[in-house]
Amino acid sequence: MKTNVTLFDIAEALGISTGTVHRALHNHPGVNATTKARVLQMAKTLGYRPNLAARFLSSKRGLKISVNTLEGTTSFWDEVRAGISEEAKSVLMENVDLEFRTYPRLGEGEEDAFEAALEAKVDGIIIFSSQPEKLRSRIRRASRGRIPVMCVTTDAPNTGRLAVVSIDTFASGALAADLMGRFLQRKGRLAVTLSDLRITEHAEKFSGFEKTLQSFYPDLCVLPPLEDHDIEPEAYEKSRELLEVYPDLAGIYITTEASIPVINAARDAGLLNQLTIITTDLFPALVPQIRSGAVSATIYQRPRTQGRMAFRVLHEFLAEGECPSYQVSLAPHLVMRGNLDFFLERQSGETTGTRRRNGTREPSANVPAEDVILSRG
Amino acid sequence: MKTNVTLFDIAEALGISTGTVHRALHNHPGVNATTKARVLQMAKTLGYRPNLAARFLSSKRGLKISVNTLEGTTSFWDEVRAGISEEAKSVLMENVDLEFRTYPRLGEGEEDAFEAALEAKVDGIIIFSSQPEKLRSRIRRASRGRIPVMCVTTDAPNTGRLAVVSIDTFASGALAADLMGRFLQRKGRLAVTLSDLRITEHAEKFSGFEKTLQSFYPDLCVLPPLEDHDIEPEAYEKSRELLEVYPDLAGIYITTEASIPVINAARDAGLLNQLTIITTDLFPALVPQIRSGAVSATIYQRPRTQGRMAFRVLHEFLAEGECPSYQVSLAPHLVMRGNLDFFLERQSGETTGTRRRNGTREPSANVPAEDVILSRG
DNA sequence: TTGAAAGCGATACCAG
DNA sequence: CTGGTATCGCTTTCAA
């Protein structure tokens, strides 16, 4: 156990050459089945762990990873991609090539992008899918073909995907409910908007919200969720109708990024001041709403960290052949007026991001930063 | 630019050998000053970046890092150390030896531990120091001797330390104030307890709290902070006295882990129910206080992530010779009744932590987990 | 003070 | 199917 087991040790113990051992361990063609079995057995008994330094030194080719995400309507997906890039750069001594394939709109071009990635013979895929069922067979195919697929933000259940990184949706809903309960301190009705109940993540946020209210704030009750299908006019219209039916509504929890149309509907109905609004995520248009107090708090889903974790888990699998986990849940951050500035990038002159060396990010106002703020100190 | 510049390229360009180039680049003794200058110059013009894979392959010796922290009175420091260990393990292909030196009590043995680390000829030190001024000269000495010192949780200003990882204290105080303001919605007086105003981090929390109240909740005012000097009986006594003088106190923000004595004082004074209490961090004894509602919310300082970031930054410096940042500030997490379970480790049977492979952590109830919850999915 | 050369452990190719 | 071997870039002796 003192010195690390090498390919040569296995070869020597079996009286064969390292070449054969190598081929056996990597399922390369042209190895006698029995030899292969013996190699695998010996590798296990000796506790062989490949020396990654040697591996990366001798094999010059780097990993090619496709990142299939939504084109940035808000900054969310830009942040996810930035997180992936950061982490890719931080992998010292490896050449990681990221290929970004983006879809212009939800549900448009997801299949094409996936096919393109497969054709490009990437080593792994990080993917956001709004309609996982449409990709199910493709993800299956990729996984069977030893191309790991990492889901980010939304899961693709029953597809054989390697893992998923997302915000803990139940905790998000619970936190929103807890805040509502403490903020309101009275009887009242609450509304929740979401994209579609069939999306697991959204259903879970609603469920976390509802259950927490029931447990701790029985004076508050939730209306059935309002589905906006990620269409802003639909969000506006449905909110307006809702506020007509319930002009005494106490608060709204918006679980998606479509908060602006809801806020507008409330303002147009003259009810903005009496409503306690909790939103999701952070983007330029939301900033003034938080500053003005129209939005009491927003639950930030840490897109940058989601991207970073997605890359890390995928990379660890690719490097070690093991997956540290099938499901990574992150705690959301709570942003209010007081700590809002922490989450916004500093004025120009300072630098933000994990790596400073390449100065990739342009500092600009009202763009959310996350978690790690760096400064020359 | 297409192929990476190697030691050999520099040697060839200068008509010397790789051995000399290597010695020149590493400040090894026995190199002509002019040769060295020429090598350094050429390295810069060619844009030489060492191939880390080759480096780790040929040099067998691993990094030795001393982790000097407080022995776990609560779980905080255990979590910090766990974070460091996790990240150390995740550095593939390098042998990192962590040497843990712990002090039994605040301010006891910090100097000795530091000296011991220096004598052990470590490559870097991660340190928590409660009285940085006492270590100032030693940290200076280490830094001059090319041994980087990373501060975690509290900074050591003007010491030449490499960097510091901590929670953004101003944002913590601001968040606490924002919550107080929204929870209370009335006129009132608030108290803040901290360890010592001379500790920058504590002063900043108070300042963030005070400024946020002034800006957004002018009906609330803060009393001068109560210093407990990290002594629990002192915290209890001073709280008791405070509550005698201000029986109409509206809320208390406890910026340290010493929340239990304050809660006890409030209970003993019969004022627990009328007080809105916001605490800091999460540890077993605090859990029932949150569940019962005695504590409205706690601001979790993510010790595990602090440890992870501390190791990452230090390691990056050691590996690349560059420091990505001098100051890493993390956003705290907000824990309330609803999302409390997310932050507590799952029941036995499930696994928590970043690496599953080695199963280092024993699952147990009421021990805070953080950020990443993994499950077989 | 400098040069030459032997590894480190895995990969990949060419012979057999 | 299998063995042998050059190679990756750097570190580290040993000579000169």
Name the residue with the least CA to C1' distance from nucleotide D3. Answer: A17
Same domain, B180 and B246: yes
A343, closest residue in chain B (CA to CA) = B331
CB A242 within 8 A of CB A224: no
CB contact under 8 A, A324 and B54: no
The C-alpha angle with vertex A266 and arms to A265 and A270, in degrees rounded to 5, equals 115
Q: Would the pLDDT of B366 be above 80?
A: no
Across B74-84, average pLDDT: 91
Q: Tell me the residue range of the domain where A261 lies.
A: 169-300
> How many structural domains comprise chain A?
3
- Dump pLDDT digits (tens) for B258-311: 999 999 999 999 999 999 999 999 999 999 999 999 999 999 999 999 999 999
Residue pair A283/A220 in contact (Cβ under 8 Å)? The answer is: no
Strand partners, A252: A191, A277
Q: Are B159 and B195 in contact (CB under 8 A)?
A: no
Same domain, A307 and A295: no
Distance CA A145, CA A306 (A): 26
- Position with higher pLDDT, B377 vs B368: B368
| pLDDT tens profile B96-111 | 899 999 999 888 899 9
- Cβ-contact B82, B76 below 8 angstroms: no
Of B174, B286, B163, nearest to A354 (Cα)? B163
**Residue-wise burial string across B135-155, b where 16 or more C-beta atoms lie within 10 A, e elsewhere:** bbebbeebbeeebbbbbbbbb
**Nucleotide in closest CA–C1' contact with B21:** C2
Bridge-partner residues for A348, per DSSP? A350
Map residue A99 onto helix, strand or coil: strand
What are the tokens at B250?
């509206």
Identify the pLDDT of residue A345: 63
Between residues B4 and A367, which one has the greater pLDDT?
Answer: B4
Query: For residue A322, what pLDDT is reported?
Result: 73
Span A160-174, mean pLDDT?
94
Report residue B351's pLDDT band, with 50, 70 and 90 as the boundaries: very low
On strand D, nucleotides with any atom < 7 Å from a protein CB are 1-5, 7-14
Q: Is B102 left (phi over 0), alpha (psi -120 to 50) or beta?
A: beta
Indicate which CATH number applies to the domain containing B229: 3.40.50.2300
* Residue B86 near residue B375 (C-beta atoms within 8 A): no
What percentage of chain A exceeds 70 in pLDDT? Answer: 90
Q: Check CB contact under 8 Å for A309 and B372.
A: yes
Measured between CA atoms, the residue of chain A closest to residue B320 is: A92
Strand C nucleotides where any atom sits below 7 Å of a protein CB: 1-5, 7-14
The pLDDT of residue B106 is 86
B130 and B95 in one domain?
yes
**Is there a single domain that holds both residue B147 and residue B190?**
no
Strands (E), B273-322: 276-280, 295-300
In this structure, are A191 and A281 located in the same domain?
yes
pLDDT exceeds cutoff 70 at B354: no
Q: Which stretch of DSSP H or E encloses residue B182? A: helix B169-184
Cβ atoms of A153 and A166 within 8 Å: the answer is yes
The secondary structure of A304-332 as a DSSP string is HHHHHHHHHHHHHHHHHS--S-SEEEEPP
Q: Dig out the tokens for B212 from the structure.
A: 């946020």
Evaluate whether residue A335 is within a structural domain.
no
Q: How many CB pairs under 8 A join A and B?
A: 181
B36/B105 same-domain check: no
Angstrom distances, CA of residue A123 to CA of A117, A154, B15 = 9, 21, 41
**Nucleotide with smallest C1' distance to residue A55 CA:** C10
CB A81 within 8 A of CB A307: yes
Edge-to-edge strand list for the sheet holding A373-374: A373-374, B327-330, B163-167, B149-152, B124-127, B63-70, B96-103
The least confident of A48-52, A57-61, A125-129, B351-355 is B351-355
pLDDT at B278: 98
Say whether both A143 and A211 belong to one domain: no
Res. A62 pLDDT band, cuts 50 70 90: confident
B-chain residues near A327 (CB < 8 A): 373-375, 377
Integer Cα distance of B97 and B120 in angstroms: 12
Query: What's the pLDDT at B2?
Result: 53
Same domain for B357 and B314, yes or no, is yes
Question: A9 pLDDT exceeds 60?
Answer: yes
φ, ψ for residue A194 (rounded to 5)? -150, 175
Residues of A in contact with B53 (CB under 8 A): 52-57, 93-94
**Average pLDDT for chain B:** 88
Whether residues B119 and B174 fall in one domain: no
Strands A276-280 and B327-330: unpaired
Tell me the per-residue pLDDT of A64-108, one tens digit each, with 9 for 90 and over: 999 999 997 778 999 999 999 999 988 877 888 999 999 998 888
Inter-chain CB proximity A328 and B93 less than 8 Å: no
pLDDT at residue A90, rounded to an integer: 84
Domain containing residue A31: CATH number: 1.10.260.40
pLDDT at position A323, please?
Answer: 72
- With a pLDDT cut of 90, the percent of chain B lying above it is 72
Please report where in the chains the tokens 């105080």 appear, as a residue.
Answer: B173
Q: β-pairing, B163-167 with B149-152? A: parallel
Q: Phi then psi for A280, rounded to 5 degrees?
A: -130, 140
Residues of B in contact with A172 (CB under 8 A): 339
Using an 8 Å Cβ cutoff, are A163 and A327 in contact?
A: yes
Are the C-beta atoms of B165 and B326 separated by less than 8 Å?
no
Residue B336 lies in a domain: no
Same domain, yes or no, for B29 and B58?
no
Confidence of residue B131 (pLDDT cuts 50, 70, 90): confident
Same domain for B77 and B44: no
- Average pLDDT on B232-238 reads 97
Lowest mean pLDDT across A104-113, A258-267, A292-301, B366-375? B366-375
